[in-house]
Amino acid sequence: MFERVNVKLNVNGQAHELLVEPRKLLSDALREDCRLTGTHVGCEHGVCGACTVLVDGRPARACLIYAVQMEGHAITTIEAIAAQGRLSALQEALHEEHGLQCGFCTPGIVMTFEAFLRKRPDPSEGEIRQTLSGNLCRCTGYHNIVAAIRKAAARMRGEENHAGA
């Protein structure tokens, strides 16, 4: 049962060939085998949301998936969001609104909302807070994160200018 298996992962459009035990969590495989450490581990029981990645474009807790399950699926992690080093609208808004402090929960929040804002481009503050409820933050009290998400949503709808854009 400790036999490792070959697993082909598609992460951020790149192929990775892993040799891992079937029980290896996707969160660990991304961090250790793919060397993508932007996905963070906060609880390993699916509550804190720090490990959120996208699987076929939909947010998922990487700690509740075994790497071996992901053959044939497309995984997107935080490292793919800032294309060519340029921050996305959401990342930029988080920066402007001081929506992060220690930054440990931040990638999970970015991944959740990069997906959510594309499905729901004009959310109310209540909807934002409800969707954000799946990501725990101990530093910010969420106020600035919510403000950043509203700002990003407005910009993505084309309603506000980017600073300097």
User: Torsion-angle region of residue 77: left (phi > 0), alpha (psi -120 to 50) or beta?
Assistant: beta
Q: Cβ 94 to other proteins, closest distance in Å?
A: 6
At its nearest, how many Å lie between other proteins and the CB of residue 47? 4
Q: Which of 11, 65, 75, 156 binds other proteins (CB under 8 A)?
A: 65
The strand ranges marked E within the chain are 5-11, 14-20, 52-55, 58-61, 74-76
Quick note: the x/- pattern for other proteins over 105-144, rule CB under 8 A, is xxx--x-x---x-----------xxxxxxxxxxxxxxxxx
Supply the minimum distance, in Å, between the C-beta of residue 162 and other proteins. 14
Q: In this chain, which of 96, 150, 154, 160 binds other proteins, going by CB under 8 A?
A: 96
Q: Between the CA of residue 146 and those of 12, 29, 106, 153, 163, what are the distances in Å? A: 27, 31, 13, 11, 19
Q: Which residue has the tokens 């939909």?
A: 58
Binders of other proteins: how many residues, by CB under 8 A? 81
